[in-house]
Amino acid sequence: ETGVTQTPRHLVMGMTNKKSLKCEQHLGHNAMYWYKQSAKKPLELMFVYSLEERVENNSVPSRFSPECPNSSHLFLHLHTLQPEDSALYLCASSQAPGQGGEKLFFGSGTQLSVL
Amino acid sequence: AQSVTQLGSHVSVSEGALVLLRCNYSSSVPPYLFWYVQYPNQGLQLLLKYTSAATLVKGINGFEAEFKKSETSFHLTKPSAHMSDAAEYFCAVSPGPGSARQLTFGSGTQLTVLP
């Protein structure tokens, strides 16, 4: 089993649907991240959780709602998305600062298509 | 403030030829620099990192990169390309240790290896 697992791998949803993306890390890390990867654009950091507390929210629309119930699990709840939200959503984890915390470990991503 | 520029969104090389992927950075503090690789349908994986020690950094799969402060560059090289090297490569910069949430990624370079 890989260190960071994301489900589902693919998701197609209509603009009125509600869905959730799930991420689980088995590395004992205490920081978790959501990134958005769109074609031809740099990775965009969406949210950061450290010790289960949200420490960063990069002006992400409220139709994206993260949840971190414990240090191993991270969710991204989606509702009333727009077609421009179609992208690959990547989850990552890292150690705390001072413990190699500059290195990210990524999951394989969820390819989201909004119709 | 920090930024990364990857020159060339697509690079093609023949199998066995030298691989050179270019990255230039801008940072107001001594940077940490990274190369990540993304194989098809997978998340990003760390290839190598520079953290202010030796300027020539060796990574996995025969890749290496050299930090040149005078040129603000961190180009990625491999002496002999293999078909399995076909992937997208991302250069990234952060302001120091434990700063994964402050990573800035480049737009990526798609490497194609021709038989």
Quote the DSSP letter at residue B83. Answer: G
Interchain contact, B42 vs A108, CB within 8 Å: yes
A83 touches chain B (CB under 8 A): no
pLDDT tens for B42-75 read: 899 999 999 877 899 999 999 999 999 999 999 9
Phi, then psi, of B13 in degrees rounded to 5: -135, 160
d(CA A3, CA B47): 16
Residue with more model confidence, B3 or A102: B3
Instruction: Give the bridge partners for A71, in sequence order.
Output: none
Q: Which amino acid is at B110?
A: Q
Residue B40 corresponds to which tokens in the numbers above?
């098809």
* pLDDT grade for A101, boundaries at 50, 70 and 90: low
Share of chain B above pLDDT 70, in %: 99
Instruction: Give the bridge partners for A96, in sequence order.
Output: none
Distance from CA of B10 to the nearest CA of A (A): 11
Q: Which residue in this structure is represented by tokens 């403030």? A: B1
A66 touches chain B (CB under 8 A): no
Q: Tell me, what's the pLDDT at B54?
A: 85
Distance from CA of A61 to the nearest CA of B (A): 19
Q: Average pLDDT for residues A55-63, to the nearest whole number?
A: 84
Nearest CA-CA partner of B83 in B12, B5, B33:
B12
Residue A34 sits at the vertex; the CA angle it makes with A48 and B40, to the nearest 5 degrees, is 145
Using an 8 Å CB-CB cutoff, list chain B residues near A108: 41-43
Using an 8 Å CB-CB cutoff, list chain A residues near B39: none
Residue B89: CB atoms within 10 A of its CB come to: 23
Residue with more model confidence, A7 or A1: A7
**Among the partner residues A42, A92, A98, nearest to B107 by beta-carbon distance:** A42
Is the Cβ–Cβ distance between B98 and A101 less than 8 Å? yes
pLDDT tens for A60-90 read: 999 999 999 998 999 999 999 999 999 999 9
A31 touches chain B (CB under 8 A): yes
Residue A108: CB atoms within 10 A of its CB come to: 20
**Among the partner residues B9, B90, B97, nearest to A98 by beta-carbon distance:** B97
Q: Tell me, what's the pLDDT at B96?
A: 79
Using an 8 Å CB-CB cutoff, list chain A residues near B41: 9, 108
* pLDDT grade for A99, boundaries at 50, 70 and 90: low
Instruction: Give the bridge partners for B107, in sequence order.
Output: none
Residue A20 sits at the vertex; the CA angle it makes with A26 and A18, to the nearest 5 degrees, is 175
Is the Cβ–Cβ distance between B95 and B29 less than 8 Å? yes
Closest chain A residue to the Cα of B51, Cα to Cα: A102
User: Nearest 10 degrees: CA dihedral of B8, A35, A39, A59?
Assistant: -100
Interchain contact, A42 vs B104, CB within 8 Å: yes
